[in-house]
């Protein structure tokens, strides 16, 4: 009898655990090798302040507007599915990876639905699922470019991006299932993944070098987590194991697309220590490998990811969190590189590429590393990206986009007609439309990144006005209410509204820049050590009404680059909290250009909130120096003592530049330290 009661109790406990986390962005309810897990989608909602405003724009502008574009004749992604389904006449239009862009937009719409419960969103998405189902072939194949293009065979060449489309299909379908409980989209994904397993699991030489834009790894892991079918995890490992397994030489499936380091295939992942090649491909790959490592616990994989993360963030990442330094270049092995990583500390400003997708992928990779290790430095990078190099990819009103995100823009400095994905201002539609839905789905799901579940508690990853209504790992209810005007102010109050009686942990992230932060509970300083760049773990028997007060100093500071960053020598950027600032020409006299601006090193930097500027931002008011004697008549010019004039002005957040018409901009500026 006792054994029976024990079995019942254990079953009930297991049931509680499964309820605690079964609808996360990452479906980690049974994932064994992570220290922090995703909360359920919808458990955290932004309530006021910065991210509440951004989500409101996503809900009412970004997602609807993008939907109009992709389902109409401009973006024509839905038309491709309709033609493949026999519902419309015509030919495939758009990039070969346009299916994946549509899946990302569908995912973004589902995150909005998870927050607002608007049934019309679900009805619209389910209507598109019906079309996609009709477009899918009987054996599960689904790639509209291949289906609608004569003389192109399935999996003939990896440049057709079939794996990229597959990965976003699987991920979007899993999110749809977790939010709705429906199987209509999920069944399409299962049917497709089963075909992938049949073709690629045998590991034949023909397909051994096929996948390169590795979203399918993340998608397969999520499908494994959703269905518990281990074949999908096995196949995800196959795609990892095949990179670097075969010699870098011509192969039928690689013709017409760069090889080697460009697609991370020269060195096996477990032996890698340098991030190379196309930045988006690399970071999707690393994020997928982190998902696999979370399930398998393989040390060699985790060790490699640790090395790669350090290489990215310590040697190849901009002050804005952006990555992928160059549009064109070469790797250390002299392989051709596009849109990607080049050598350590090679960080151009004006020609910095920093594709929006790459920046978003940087935060995705860090989010997974946060789960693996439970260390706050990963959330620091997530936050840096979100406030700077991610948001810079979209306009304040949410309808115009940057593909690349340089740190300096000077009129007449480049012929943008030669650089099809680079522009001096945001565009309402990009022919290569991968970045906009990637960013919009990130903004739409950002509240689900704000907290993570620990073994016996909750970790506060991101700050912003929000309400969390979730369950801890033991199934107990937890409700927190966060009130703050972050990132414009450093004060945060988190009130416990509901919790269990037993003691549990609340992990409070102290950002790496927030030296001097204080943490109090009910107005008394905590006994735990408060260190910038670490979580402060507070364990106690919490009760309703307890208030955690965090006060982070928000002093504007000058930031200089590593001595090996030649392009930033004797220059500084200005940063306040997590926000990087820039100088933009609307804030200097019309006769001056951005290259005339110098920072006066001893000038005060005063923060001032302006509710009417750029949707409401804190600016940095200061006195800069404008050089008035520069000549550009010749390539090199004789110079006497420079002539400067002081000019009182303001700097704006980098993410908000290019929202006031055509403008020049710079993040790094030369600095004059002595009094003049």
**pLDDT tens digits, 307-329:** 999 999 999 999 999 999 999 99
pLDDT at 2: 44
Task: Report residue 639 as tokens.
Answer: 């110079």
Q: Work out the pLDDT band at 615, boundaries 50, 70, 90.
A: very high
Lowest mean pLDDT among 160-164, 574-578, 635-639, 668-672: 635-639
The mean predicted confidence, pLDDT, of the chain is: 94
Q: Which of 599, 472, 490, 597 is nearest to 542 (CA)?
A: 472
Does the pLDDT value for residue 90 go beyond 60? yes
How large is the average pLDDT for residues 455-463? 97
From the number of C-beta atoms within 10 Å of its C-beta (0-12, 13-18, 19+), residue 407 rates as: buried
Average pLDDT for residues 559-579, to the nearest whole number? 97
Could you give the count of Cα atoms lying within 13 Å of 531 in the half-sphere of its Cβ?
Answer: 9
408-444 burial, b if ≥16 CB within 10 A, otherwise e? bbbeeeeeeeeeebbbbebeeebebbbbbbbbbbbbb
Nearest to 493 by CA among 482, 509, 478: 482
Q: Residue 474, class by beta-carbon neighbours within 10 Å (0-12 exposed, 13-18 middle, 19+ buried)?
A: middle
Predicted pLDDT of residue 188? 98
Query: Would you call the peptide bond into 487 cis, given omega within 30 degrees of 0 as the criterion?
Result: yes
Pairing of strands 597-600, 669-672: parallel
Residue 359 has pLDDT above 50, yes or no: yes
Looking at residue 9, its pLDDT comes to: 43
First to last CA, the chain: 89
Query: If we measure between CA atoms, which residue out of 47, 68, 481 comes closest to residue 55?
Result: 47
Q: What's the pLDDT score for residue 36? A: 98
For residues 232 and 218, is the Cβ–Cβ distance under 8 A?
no
The more confidently predicted of residues 422 and 459 is 459
Q: Which residues of 324-349 are buried (b: 16+ CB within 10 A; e: fewer)?
A: bbbbebebeeebebbbbbbbbbbbbb
Residues 6+ apart with CB under 8 A from 120: none
Across 255-263, average pLDDT:
89
pLDDT at site 1:
44
pLDDT recorded at residue 203: 80
Query: How far is the CA of 184 from the CAs of 133, 174, 228, in angstroms?
Result: 8, 11, 18
Q: What is the pLDDT of residue 675?
A: 58
**Which tokens go with 188?**
């399409």
Instruction: Report the C-alpha gap between 275 and 332 in whole angstroms.
Output: 11
Whether 572 contacts 530, CB under 8 Å: no
Mean pLDDT of the region 359-379: 98
Task: State the angle between helix axes of 279-296 and 230-242 in degrees (0 to 180), rounded to the nearest 10.
Answer: 130
Q: What is the Cα gyration radius of the chain? A: 25
- State the average pLDDT over residues 580-602: 96
**In whole angstroms, what is the distance from residue 478 CA to residue 543 CA?**
11
pLDDT at 69 over 80: yes
Amino acid 547: pLDDT: 98
CA-CA distance, 54 to 43, in Å (whole number)?
A: 18
Paired tokens of 96: 């070969």
Paired tokens of 134: 């009709």
Structural domains for the chain: 18-449 (1.50.10.20), 451-551 (2.60.40), 556-672 (no CATH)
Residue 469 scores a pLDDT above 60: yes
644, two tokens: 């400067």
Q: Across the strands, what pairs with 621?
A: 606, 650
Q: Are 106 and 176 in contact (CB under 8 A)?
A: yes
**What 3-state DSSP class applies to 309?**
helix
**pLDDT at 134 (0 to 100):** 98
Separation of alpha carbons 306 and 375, rounded Å? 12
Q: Calculate ∠ Cα 362-364-368, nearest 5°.
A: 115
pLDDT higher than threshold 60 for residue 337? yes
* Residue in 308, 306, 304 with CA at minimum distance from that of residue 275: 308
Quote the tokens at residue 124. 């619209």
Residue 215 CB-density burial (10 A; 0-12 exposed, 13-18 middle, 19+ buried): buried
Q: Taking residues 499-522, report their average pLDDT.
A: 98
- Cα separation, 2 vs 85, in Å, equals 59
Position of tokens 């704006």?
652
Q: How many CA atoms lie within 13 A of 610 on its CB side?
A: 14
Question: Is 70 exceeded by the pLDDT of residue 612?
Answer: yes
């Amino acid at each position: 009898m006792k054994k029976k009661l024990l079995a019942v109790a254990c079953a009930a406990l297991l049931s509680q655990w499964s309820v605690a986390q079964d609808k996360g962005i990452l479906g980690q309810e049974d994932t064994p090798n992570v220290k922090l897990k995703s909360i359920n989608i919808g458990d955290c909602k932004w309530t006021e302040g910065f991210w509440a405003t951004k989500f409101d724009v996503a809900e009412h502008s970004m997602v609807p507007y993008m939907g109009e574009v992709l389902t109409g004749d401009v973006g024509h992604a839905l038309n491709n599915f309709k033609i493949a389904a026999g519902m419309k006449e015509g030919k495939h239009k758009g990039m070969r990876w346009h299916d994946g862009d549509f899946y990302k937009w569908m995912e973004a719409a589902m995150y909005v639905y998870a927050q607002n419960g608007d049934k019309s969103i679900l009805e619209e998405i389910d209507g598109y699922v019906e079309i996609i189902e009709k477009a899918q072939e009987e054996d599960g194949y689904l790639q509209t470019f291949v289906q609608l293009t004569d003389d192109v065979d399935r999996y003939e060449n990896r440049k057709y991006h079939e794996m990229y489309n597959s990965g976003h299909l699987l991920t979007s379908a899993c999110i749809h299932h977790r939010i709705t409980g429906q199987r209509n989209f999920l069944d399409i994904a299962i049917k497709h993944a089963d075909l992938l397993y049949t073709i690629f699991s045998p590991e034949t030489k023909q397909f051994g070098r096929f996948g390169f834009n590795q979203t399918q790894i993340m998608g397969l892991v999520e499908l494994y987590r959703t269905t518990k079918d281990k074949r999908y995890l096995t196949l995800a490992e196959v795609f990892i194991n095949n990179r670097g397994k075969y010699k870098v030489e011509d192969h039928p499936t690689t013709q017409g697309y760069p090889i080697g380091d460009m697609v991370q295939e020269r060195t096996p992942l477990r032996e890698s220590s340098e991030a190379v090649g196309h930045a988006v491909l690399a970071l999707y790959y690393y994020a997928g490998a982190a998902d696999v490592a979370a399930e398998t616990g393989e040390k060699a994989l985790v060790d490699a990811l640790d090395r790669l993360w350090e290489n990215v963030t310590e040697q190849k990442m901009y002050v804005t969190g952006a990555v992928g330094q160059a549009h064109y270049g070469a790797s250390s092995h002299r392989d051709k590189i596009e849109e990607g990583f080049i050598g350590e500390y090679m960080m151009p400003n004006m020609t910095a590429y920093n594709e929006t997708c790459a920046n978003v992928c940087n935060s995705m990779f860090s989010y997974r590393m946060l789960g693996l290790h439970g260390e706050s430095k990963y959330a620091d990078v997530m936050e840096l990206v979100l406030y700077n190099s991610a948001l810079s990819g979209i306009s304040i009103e949410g309808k115009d986009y940057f593909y690349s995100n340089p740190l300096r823009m000077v009129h007449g400095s480049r012929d943008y007609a030669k650089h099809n994905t680079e522009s001096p201002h945001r565009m309402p539609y990009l022919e290569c439309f991968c970045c906009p839905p990637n960013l919009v789905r990130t903004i739409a799901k950002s509240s689900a990144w704000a907290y993570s579940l620990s073994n016996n508690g909750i970790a506060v990853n991101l700050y912003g006005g929000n309400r969390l209504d979730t369950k801890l790992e033991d199934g107990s209810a937890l409700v927190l209410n966060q009130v703050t005007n972050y990132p414009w102010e450093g004060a945060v109050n988190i009130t416990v509204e509901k919790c269990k009686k037993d003691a549990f942990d609340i992990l409070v992230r102290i950002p790496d820049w927030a030296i001097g932060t204080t943490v109090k509970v009910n107005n008394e300083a905590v006994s735990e050590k408060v260190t910038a760049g670490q979580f402060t773990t507070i364990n106690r028997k919490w009760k309703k009404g307890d208030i955690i007060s965090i006060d982070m100093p928000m002093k504007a500071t000058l930031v200089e680059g590593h001595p090996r960053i030649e392009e930033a020598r004797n220059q500084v950027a200005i940063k306040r909290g997590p926000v990087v600032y820039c100088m933009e020409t609307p804030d200097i006299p019309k006769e001056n250009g951005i290259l005339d601006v110098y920072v006066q090193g001893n000038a005060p930097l005063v923060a001032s909130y302006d509710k009417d500027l750029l949707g409401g931002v804190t600016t940095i008011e200061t006195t800069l120096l404008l050089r008035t004697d520069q000549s550009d008549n010749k390539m090199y010019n004789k110079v006497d003592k420079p002539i400067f004039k002081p000019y009182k002005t303001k700097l704006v957040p980098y993410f908000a530049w290019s929202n006031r018409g055509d403008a020049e901009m710079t993040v790094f500026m030369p600095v004059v330290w002595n009094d003049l």
